[in-house]
Amino acid sequence: MSQSIEQPADGTRDRTPARAVPTSADVARLAGVSRATVSYVLNNTSAVRISEPTRKRVREAAQELGYVPHAAARSLRAGHSRMVLLPAAHVPVGPLYSRFLNDLQWALRRLDYTVVQYGSIGLDPEDAARAWAELRPVAVVSTGEVEVTPAAVDILKRSGVKAVISVGTRPSGGTHSLVLDQPRVGRVAAEHLIATGRRRIGVVVPEEPGLEMFSAPRLEGARTAAGAVGATVVPLPLAYTEESAGELAARWPELGLDAVFGYNDEYAMLLMRALQDAGVDVPGATAVVGADDLLLGRLLRPRLSTVRIDMVLGGELAALVDGAVNGTADPVGGRSLLDSRVIRRESS
Amino acid sequence: MSQSIEQPADGTRDRTPARAVPTSADVARLAGVSRATVSYVLNNTSAVRISEPTRKRVREAAQELGYVPHAAARSLRAGHSRMVLLPAAHVPVGPLYSRFLNDLQWALRRLDYTVVQYGSIGLDPEDAARAWAELRPVAVVSTGEVEVTPAAVDILKRSGVKAVISVGTRPSGGTHSLVLDQPRVGRVAAEHLIATGRRRIGVVVPEEPGLEMFSAPRLEGARTAAGAVGATVVPLPLAYTEESAGELAARWPELGLDAVFGYNDEYAMLLMRALQDAGVDVPGATAVVGADDLLLGRLLRPRLSTVRIDMVLGGELAALVDGAVNGTADPVGGRSLLDSRVIRRESS
DNA sequence: TTGAAAGCGTTACCAA
DNA sequence: TTGGTAACGCTTTCAA
């Protein structure tokens, strides 16, 4: 057994069976003051002056009891919270996106928001919205995998949500939308391939679920670019396994493609290797382009060409959220936050 | 500009300036019943029988107002919540770990917990614990990057937290610990290399911050295995860049190593390529082993040998959390949830 | 079958 | 300088 569970071993188990959690009333009692005074002292309320000895007594009492204020009670009283709800992704996405989400979480934290990840599987958009609304978040930032319909937005707004922001999808009614231009990724890839003389372009469409929201618009973008010059685009379903790549590579001659956009670097690497193993010359017979500019793509031979995506920064999105919450005018309007450009290496 | 911000475009901006969020009292008023009745109807309280016409009136009133119950008020009244707090990682970790966290979040959700990600940067363990305690979570699951000291555990327990679970670290006082056996990863890698005749083993130690919690124990495990048979282990600091790998490869002759454990597949791939570019024969002169069994590792030539880590499943950890919360006896005791074994391919 | 009221832990107003 | 009190939104016991 390479893993173990340890019970608390300090001999204090059940020393205090269901001991009550101390409240400000307990602190007040111990310090011999009123609850109001406790609140004043602990919140450093400047409008009220409390004598130093009293402050000291209160603080000591709080310390002794291990008193910690109750956030829910506080925000109930205050009438608002600083909770930002992030609908959880159904499936782990790529490294770029994970990094983005992590950045976002930290940036929000720095702005003193509490981030709640909330998964809502098998709920339709409106039921999901109702579930989210129960938490009375001040903002909802949907990262696109979860659809936010106009009706859902209405439910949220009516429950007091100040800002509904969707990122990664096309704008949906009533939300502030941060549209990550996925079609552009496919478009610049295709344009690059066309510019280097290719005319029959395969576009990998991952079979793994949860990726359609990225892959479909990328495919569409490639189609746009190809349509403009009479080039052909062929969708290529591909699972992230060596078998699937091998099968696709075996069909390569009959497909008659002279280029392929691999959705991202990982799928592109997988396919490129399969093509090479099947005797297809890269980039001679077929050019290959990935996306994300992963370091690993530079390790293969030929080095993988890629579309570098400059993802919007978590900090900027956090600023947008904060602005929307405060009702401040759009803090990022007009700025280009997502840019994609081809980095040509050796595979194209 | 490849990205745009859209304002709500339905012409309804500020249609209802600061309209109050409906409460159960509003519903009661509209339906012509008491708040109690509203609560009974909406919660399907079985102990009380409400006439069908009344139920209907209440439901319609709720519907019309867009009423959604207030979770904080509810749990304040109930005296407990179902919130699980997950201290946020400071830095994005590998794909395996992201997947694990995602699984965990979903598994907890399925058990009807609400997952709150909470970052606490620059806070010492006790202050962080106090911040967490304000939220009155029912459980805290530390994924290791954030240290949970015994004092922190005490603060949490006193605030009503039922279970403190730390995963990935050595057991810390008073918590249920799920120890992911990182040393074992290094040990099996080293044992494999030793078994195939290698004696001077380099172990990559990533320079990227936030990875020490994994890399240090892996290095230690390798040392243990080597020490047992008089083999040598040399730590190799390496940044995740081609330059760093190139510099390390350039020093290879003077290092005199006949094998290297690359920390994980990504670092191993990076280093293996640099070695090959520097003219080092792999696996002839130097054997290379990674970890994580990434698909991409099979694309290089020679195919990368790796340590396959069967990570504990999110669902199992969620079950442990649930068991700890319910006070049920340890639900996973004695089971081996983390296992590591070498998958030999061509690079060793 | 329904309603009145208490209480969860806070904070803010007003009075002392 | 301090304390009493009401109110935030909800559930639940008790009484009608």
Size of chain B in residues: 348
Say if residue A305 is in the same domain as residue A186: yes
**Range in B9-18, B132-141, B192-201 the model is least confident about:** B9-18
What residue is closest to C5 (Cα–C1')?
A: B36
Say if residue B155 is in the same domain as residue B176: yes
Say if residue A218 is in the same domain as residue A99: no
Say if residue A174 is in the same domain as residue A117: yes
Task: Identify whether B285 is part of a domain.
Answer: yes
Q: Which of B3, B19, B86 has the CB atom closest to A178's CB atom?
A: B3
> How far apart are alpha carbons A127 and A155 in whole angstroms?
9
**Range in A86-90, B217-221, B237-241 the model is least confident about:** A86-90
Instruction: Give the model's pLDDT for residue B329.
Output: 58
Say if residue B283 is in the same domain as residue B207: yes
Say if residue A303 is in the same domain as residue A186: yes
Say if residue B259 is in the same domain as residue B326: no
Check: CB of residue A305 under 8 Å from CB of residue A344. Answer: yes
Confidence of residue B19 (pLDDT cuts 50, 70, 90): low
Is B299 in Cβ contact with A270 (below 8 Å)? yes
Confidence of residue B169 (pLDDT cuts 50, 70, 90): low
DSSP assignment of B258-289 equals SEEE-SSHHHHHHHHHHHHHTT--TTTT-EEE
Q: Is the CB of B36 under 7 A from strand C?
A: yes
Calculate how close chain B gets to A133, using CA atoms only, in Å: 7
Say if residue A34 is in the same domain as residue A134: no
**Nearest CA among A241, A245, A251, A234 for reference residue A273:** A245
Task: Identify whether A1 is part of a domain.
Answer: no
What is the bridge-based pairing of β-strands B305-310 and B339-343?
Answer: antiparallel
> How far apart are alpha carbons B286 and B348 in whole angstroms?
8
Mean pLDDT value across residues B288-304: 96
What residue numbers bound the domain in which B196 lies?
182-310
Question: Higher pLDDT residue, B7 or A246?
Answer: A246
Confidence of residue B6 (pLDDT cuts 50, 70, 90): very low
Is residue B290 over pLDDT 80? yes
C5 C1' – A21 CA distance, angstroms?
A: 25
How many C-beta atoms lie closer than 10 Å to residue A220's C-beta? 15
Is residue B4 over pLDDT 70? no
Task: Identify whether B16 is part of a domain.
Answer: no
3-state secondary structure A40-101: HHHCCCCCCCCCHHHHHHHHHHHHHHCCCCCHHHHHHHHCCCCEEEEECCCCCCCHHHHHHH
Q: How many alpha carbons fall within 13 Å on the CB side of residue A51?
A: 4
> How far apart are alpha carbons A106 and A313 in whole angstroms?
11
Task: Identify whether B196 is part of a domain.
Answer: yes
> How far apart are alpha carbons B132 and A68 in whole angstroms?
10
Residues of chain A above pLDDT 90, percent: 67
Instruction: Give the model's pLDDT for residue B171.
Output: 64
Task: Identify whether B100 is part of a domain.
Answer: yes
Task: Identify whether B77 is part of a domain.
Answer: no
Q: Which residue has the tokens 């490849």?
A: B2
What residue is closest to C9 (Cα–C1')?
A: A73
Instruction: Give the model's pLDDT for residue B8.
Output: 45
Calculate how close chain A gets to B55, using CA atoms only, in Å: 20
Residues with Cβ within 8 Å of B26's Cβ and at least 6 positions away in sequence, in order, are B65, B67
**Nearest CA among A262, A243, A248 for reference residue A201:** A262
Q: Tell me the per-residue pLDDT of A50-91, one tens digit each, with 9 for 90 and over.
A: 889 999 999 999 999 999 999 999 999 999 999 999 998 877
Q: Tell me the per-residue pLDDT of A206-230, one tens digit each, with 9 for 90 and over.
A: 999 888 888 999 999 999 999 999 9
Q: Which of B5, B105, B115 has the CB atom closest to A177's CB atom?
A: B5
Domain boundary among A34, A69, A104: A69
Say if residue B89 is in the same domain as residue B140: yes
Say if residue B199 is in the same domain as residue B249: yes
| Beta-bridge partner residues of A115 | A84, B117
Say if residue A196 is in the same domain as residue A303: yes
Task: Tell me which chain A residues have a C-beta less than 8 angstroms from the C-beta of B171.
Answer: 6
C11 C1' – B48 CA distance, angstroms?
A: 35
- Strand C contact nucleotides, protein CB < 7 Å: 1-5, 7-14
Residues with Cβ within 8 Å of A285's Cβ and at least 6 positions away in sequence, in order, are A258
3-state secondary structure of B333: coil
Task: Identify whether B13 is part of a domain.
Answer: no
Q: Which of A9, A21, A98 has the CB atom closest to B92's CB atom?
A: A98
Task: Tell me which chain A residues have a C-beta less than 8 angstroms from the C-beta of B88.
Answer: 102, 105-106, 109, 115
Confidence of residue A7 (pLDDT cuts 50, 70, 90): very low
Confidence of residue B9 (pLDDT cuts 50, 70, 90): very low
Is residue B90 over pLDDT 80? no
Instruction: Give the model's pLDDT for residue B5.
Output: 39
Mean pLDDT value across residues B225-249: 97
The sheet with strand B232-238 has its strands ordered as B232-238, B200-206, B259-261, B287-291, B305-310, B339-343
Mean pLDDT value across residues B47-69: 92
The pLDDT mean for chain B works out to 88
Task: Tell me which chain A residues have a C-beta less than 8 angstroms from the C-beta of B69.
Answer: 134
What's B298's DSSP letter?
G
Is residue A291 over pLDDT 90? yes
Domain count, chain A: 3
Task: Tell me the count of A-B CB pairs closer than 8 A.
Answer: 238
Task: Identify whether B18 is part of a domain.
Answer: no
Query: Which two structure tokens, joined as six digits, stand for B10?
Result: 């339905």
Q: What is the CATH number of the domain that holds A125?
A: 3.40.50.2300
Instruction: Give the model's pLDDT for residue A85.
Output: 96
Check: CB of residue B224 under 8 Å from CB of residue B194. Answer: no
Is A72 in Cβ contact with B89 (below 8 Å)? no
* Phi, psi angle pair for A269, to nearest 5°: -65, -45
Confidence of residue B330 (pLDDT cuts 50, 70, 90): low
Confidence of residue B13 (pLDDT cuts 50, 70, 90): very low
> How far apart are alpha carbons A297 and A343 in whole angstroms?
11
Question: pTM of this prediction?
Answer: 0.87
Q: What is the CATH number of the domain that holds A55?
A: 1.10.260.40
Say if residue A132 is in the same domain as residue A231: no
The pLDDT mean for chain A works out to 88
